[in-house]
Amino acid sequence: MTNKWCCSREWPVPRNKQSVGLLLTMVAAVLAVPAMAGDAPQWMHARAATPLPAFDDKTDAVMLYSETTVNVQSADKLKRTVRVAYKILRPAGREYGTVVVPFDSHQKVNYLHGWCIPAQGKDFEVKDKDGMEVALPAVEGSELISDVKAKVLRIPAAEPGNIIGYEYEMDEQPMVLQESWRFQERSPVRETHYTLQLPAGWEYRTAWLNASELKPSVSGNQSQWVVNDVKGLRPEDEMPPWSGVAGRLVVSFFPSSGAAANGFSNWQEMGVWYGNLTRGRTDASPEIKQKVAALTASANSQMDKMRAIASFVQHDIRYVAIELGIGGWQPHAASDVFVHRYGDCKDKATLMNAMLHEIGVQSYYVSINTERGAITASTPAHLGFNHVILAIKIPENPADSSLIATMQDAKLGNILFFDPTNEYTPFGQIGGYLQSNYGLLVTPQGGELLELPKQAGSTNSIVRSGTLALDASGKLTGSVHEMRMGDRAAYERRVLRDVSKNDDRIKPIENLLAGSMSNFRITKATVSNLTQADQPFGFDYTFEADNYAKNAGNLLLVRPRIVGSKARATLETKDPRLFPIEFEGPARDTDRFEISVPTGYEVEELPPPVDADYGFASYHAKTEVKAGVIAYERTFEVKELSVPAAKADELKRFYRIIASDERNTVVLRPVAK
């Protein structure tokens, strides 16, 4: 989820056309550097002659070789050396010629060199001085500060048939004594190495993600893992996050003297580590105490007080994330966040924690990844989270039906999850991106990995009803009323948040109608509860559409499904599905349209009812006629949030059933005289 509901702590090396295009724009000066003759190193030439298997026409490049060597010198210093070589197979593979090495104030790039071995002619070389430093793309605010940068090098002649390679060395002060080696990526990999050099007496532990365990070769204090012939990961629509499917090795290492302050080997210890980072930062200043008193002065209950505090942190604390080094994990003090009125997700959680404490309510940090599937029950403890929310201790049996996102914890009792960064989801609920997702609950006793609750589909819904009339020419007129809840409402509020003109506020309605009919005119439209996140969001609109019903001789064919489409073409591809299909969250949408039959016509034929239930989702639709009115009603429900690849064909059939129903028509004929 790429939005301000989360705080990304991971600096991605661009490997898609959009991000690479941004980099190429930023480093235009680098592109102008002339190619210089210079022999590529032996480690590149050794792989240049390696025979390659045949690849399909979707493979843009193949990684011939990579080698990462990490030399741990102490608990707060390590040296990293990286070598990589690709063979470019197709024009789209040119992007691999742009090398991006991110760094911050705790890292130093000692050198970065690049080479090209062309299929014809002499080698090319790009030296360290030919690169440049830029503000790191995809890190919000990085253009405003000097601590977050990237070293960028453009390797010449990154053309099909050529081999490009690069090497760099970095000195680092690690946040934690843990390494994550990603040996699988979009391109196939022929040979990749990871070497860990530890000081005498140190130990390490490993965990393999999405791959079988491999034993290292060991020489003294040095361990090396080698993986060969790794298949490339080809992106699929609605697939799990990359970190949830790509092969990776997580290595945690420990000094001979025992666990270091920046080390952990399990979730409980990681919770202790994170608790140490936050210690003292939730203390309330006199100004915070005063604000809490003012916010809660007129509240009639403890829950009303909590809602007042939640609303303040959601809407009055501006989201700003500039995360440097350990600042990607350690929040600012609550007093600073309150004074400056801005902060990122963990800052907002910290301030809310402090304010809740002032009314006698305990709350706890929950680190989570907004991409469901990045962390699972079997995932080892590592820095795999990108967001922070709160778990709030509430009474065991609160007489409040709006408190939905709750669960019973064995130690804490009844807890409510809440995301103070998400200004569109009301207190008591969480968005679909958090539901059935795993987060690290941080308490004074340490960390506990737990699965957040899944809400009922009715909490994320569109309830739409329409009253319309058809005339003998096929013209349709009428009005539609719809109410949206949960993420369905949050999406519309986010889209319309900064829209000030009334004409622009009906754009979503225009888009909805345009997807279902042509030649329509909106005669009236209003939006309700745009800023009231605790109320359903509403659209009301009146429209007319010429030639909605189609002539077939003396018959009229009218589609009873007026607006809205639930069918998806995601799986309509030639390639077999490899990964599960992920839904954004549970949902339950209903439509009911009533269409008055034009004078002089009667119903000859109705579409058949539809009852499709595949377990993970269901769809029910029926069309009836009574007293000259066609009544169409349907319900679409998402029950499970992930569909395994083995059931992809079932999901495809499910969507085809929906598509067929959405195209079905009622046949009207002239009344016999």
The pLDDT tens digits for 42-94 are 999 999 888 899 999 999 999 999 999 999 999 999 999 999 999 999 999 99
Task: Say if 104 falls within a structural domain.
Answer: yes
Both 492 and 425 in one domain: the answer is: no
Both 109 and 155 in one domain: the answer is: yes
Residue 663, pLDDT > 60, answer yes
Segment among 26-40, 171-185, 293-307, 322-336 with least mean pLDDT: 26-40
Residue 23, pLDDT > 60, answer no
Both 432 and 498 in one domain: the answer is: no
Q: How confident is the model at residue 106 (pLDDT cuts 50, 70, 90)?
A: confident
Tokens of 482: 């719809």
pTM for the whole structure: 0.89
Look at residues 254, 287, 303 and tell me which one is the last residue of a structural domain. Answer: 254
Tokens of 98: 């742009």
Both 383 and 303 in one domain: the answer is: yes
- Note the pLDDT of residue 327: 75
- The 8-class DSSP code of residue 322 comes to -
Look at residues 454, 478, 501 and tell me which one is the last residue of a structural domain. Answer: 454
Q: How confident is the model at residue 583 (pLDDT cuts 50, 70, 90)?
A: very high
Look at residues 436, 454, 472 and tell me which one is the last residue of a structural domain. Answer: 454
- Note the pLDDT of residue 147: 58
**What is the phi-psi region of residue 557: left when phi exceeds 0, alpha when psi lies from -120 to 50, beta otherwise?**
beta
Both 491 and 632 in one domain: the answer is: yes
Listed residue (320, 334, 460) closest to 7, CA to CA: 320
- Note the pLDDT of residue 479: 98
Q: How confident is the model at residue 9 (pLDDT cuts 50, 70, 90)?
A: very low
Residue 24, pLDDT > 80, answer no
Both 195 and 299 in one domain: the answer is: no
Q: How confident is the model at residue 37 (pLDDT cuts 50, 70, 90)?
A: low
The residue range of the domain holding 660 is: 458-670
The pLDDT tens digits for 624-662 are 999 999 999 999 999 999 999 999 999 999 999 999 999
Query: Average model confidence (pLDDT) for the chain?
Result: 91
Task: Say if 268 falls within a structural domain.
Answer: no
Domains held by the chain: number:
3
- Note the pLDDT of residue 38: 77
Residues linked to residue 545 through DSSP beta bridges, in sequence order: 476, 520
Cβ atoms within 10 Å, residue 551: 11
Task: Say if 91 falls within a structural domain.
Answer: yes
Task: Say if 264 falls within a structural domain.
Answer: no
Angle at CA of residue 578, ends 572 and 580, nearest 5°? 85
Both 426 and 494 in one domain: the answer is: no
Locus of tokens 């499917």? 245
Q: How confident is the model at residue 142 (pLDDT cuts 50, 70, 90)?
A: very low
- H or E stretch including 661? helix 648-663
Both 661 and 545 in one domain: the answer is: yes
Both 412 and 467 in one domain: the answer is: no
Both 466 and 581 in one domain: the answer is: yes
The pLDDT tens digits for 300-316 are 999 999 999 999 999 99
- Note the pLDDT of residue 257: 80
The pLDDT tens digits for 338-383 are 999 999 999 999 999 999 999 999 999 999 999 999 999 999 999 9
Q: What is the mean pLDDT of residues 582-597?
A: 97
Within 104-230, strands assigned E span 107-117, 124-126, 132-135, 149-154, 163-172, 178-182, 189-197, 203-209, 217-219, 222-230
- Note the pLDDT of residue 11: 36
Distance CA 161, CA 589 (A): 52
**What is the phi-psi region of residue 359: left when phi exceeds 0, alpha when psi lies from -120 to 50, beta otherwise?**
alpha
Q: What is the mean pLDDT of residues 556-581?
A: 95
Residue 522, pLDDT > 70, answer yes
Cβ atoms within 10 Å, residue 318: 11
